Amino acid sequence: MSTLQSFNARTGEAHGAALAPSTEQDIDRAATDAHAAFGDWARSSGEQRAALLRALADGLEAEREQLVACADLETALGPVRLNGELDRTTFQLRRFADIAQRGVPFESLDDPAVAGGPPAGHPAMVRQRMPLGPVAMFAASNFPFAFSVLGGDTASALAAGCPVVVKAHPGHPVLSQQVFAIIQGVLKAQGLPAGLIGLVQGAGVEVGVGLIRHPLIAAGAFTGSTRGGAALQAEANARPRPIPFYGELGSINPLIALPAALAAKGAELATTLAGSITLGCGQFCTNPGLLVLVDGPETEAFIPQLVEALARQQPHPMLTAGMRKAFDAGIKGFMDAGARSLLQGQGVAPAPGPQLLQVSAQRFIERHELREEVFGPSSLIVRCASLAEVNAVLAAVGGSLTVTVWGADEDTADNRAIVRSATQIAGRVLFAGVPTGVAVTAAQQHGGPWPSSTAPMTTSVGDAALERFLRPVCLQDAPAWLLARGGVPC
């Protein structure tokens, strides 16, 4: 197996000794222990689940200083961003604690018997939900707290009554081990089995593939590249007993700036957009990687404003050397496919400079390479000759986590057509602001049609993330003792 090594993200130097990757035996032990913990945890009360999630949040906060310092060394995301992300992570844990305590995982639908024959008559039925079982959770690189070991997938799965086996991301292995140590301490203090939350790690594909193939794993949750997610989804589907795989994948997040918005406040929007493109060195799944503009005087004035605003940005180093290499290759791929560079920012090594490119709508539609996600501080302008071409560009995108539409404030046929096109391809459509930043709320939808996710009916952020790990079951003419359990599995 590949060696697992922690690196200083700012210097590229190795940090500490090489770490031992998980073996087949380690993976089997983690999955087996999670399966052993499943029965009791599936039967646990909302109060017990809430107590665990709140204690995990407390544990992170108690070790904040050490965790943030380690995360900053391994990711170069900076203490301000990382402290904010840790706050979001503890918020998620406590929010799902509240959801569990309110009894949401145990909610049921009572359909009383109706006398007479079918089709109107029917037996008494109750529709409730059952936890799926152990979940393989694949941590993301770009959010070392919020989408990692104790991120939203772990929190929502635990609240649903499912154990979790985390596949740690090799971009922050030491941080992952520190968080896992906190988990182990909390589980021990609450008298819960250590296998309720397991951890495996490795730099190569072997560990992740071995985990998703394990027969005791009941579902997979993934945040990462389209290529990696597609490979794991194929493994999940190829099992003798296929399992659900919830992948949040790559997305280019089109942002449409209509002439009305640019005429009203083009310079302000340029500054806002430049900050969004370079936020976190562009390493956000909701980074606005595609800017759709309509030819005209407003666009001609806006593009120089955006170039100027972007040129002032100074991104920090990327998460890993591999990501920087992929970013450079992606920019080259755009140019090879016919895109013209408008800005080639010169970053301070090893950080990249911001990049802005431009292409015609016709070229964008013709060349699939221009629709690939380039993970980093860049965006591609697509110039449209008409509003009809805007809709054609969105149709070519196919699927995205977000679409942002600036300037559709009036109820017109053209605006309706653009909104219709946007809602057909995205899980979240914004009409103000920028897509970077995903609120953890009841109405959030973080997932869209392929290639942005593998299951566009579900979300990986927000309260509804819980639904991914619960399977509906209909109880027909159930005995009174079973109904008295109020949806709690027996």
Instruction: Please list the active-site residues.
Output: 248, 285
Q: What is the DSSP string of 159-228?
A: HHT--EEEE--TTSHHHHHHHHHHHHHHHHHTT--GGGEEEE--SSSHHHHHHHH-TT--EEEEES-HHH
Could you tell me if 467 and 107 are in contact, meaning their C-beta atoms sit under 8 angstroms apart? no
Report the SS3 class of residue 109. strand
Report the SS3 class of residue 422. helix
Closest CA to 263 of 87, 407, 83: 407
Give the contacts of 156 (CB within 8 A, at least 6 positions apart): 96, 465, 466, 468, 469
Radius of gyration of the chain (CA): 24
Could you tell me if 7 and 203 are in contact, meaning their C-beta atoms sit under 8 angstroms apart? no
Closest CA to 60 of 155, 145, 166: 145
Cα–Cα distance list, 470 to 52, 131, 233, 282 (Å) = 19, 5, 19, 34
Paired tokens of 137? 């959770």
Could you tell me if 318 and 327 are in contact, meaning their C-beta atoms sit under 8 angstroms apart? yes
- Before 297, cis peptide (omega within 30)? no
Exposure on the CB side of residue 380, measured as CA atoms within 13 A: 31
Cα 349 to Cα 243: distance, rounded to the nearest angstrom: 44
**Quick one: CA torsion of 230, 464, 198, 321, rounded to 10 degrees?**
50
Could you tell me if 106 and 488 are in contact, meaning their C-beta atoms sit under 8 angstroms apart? yes
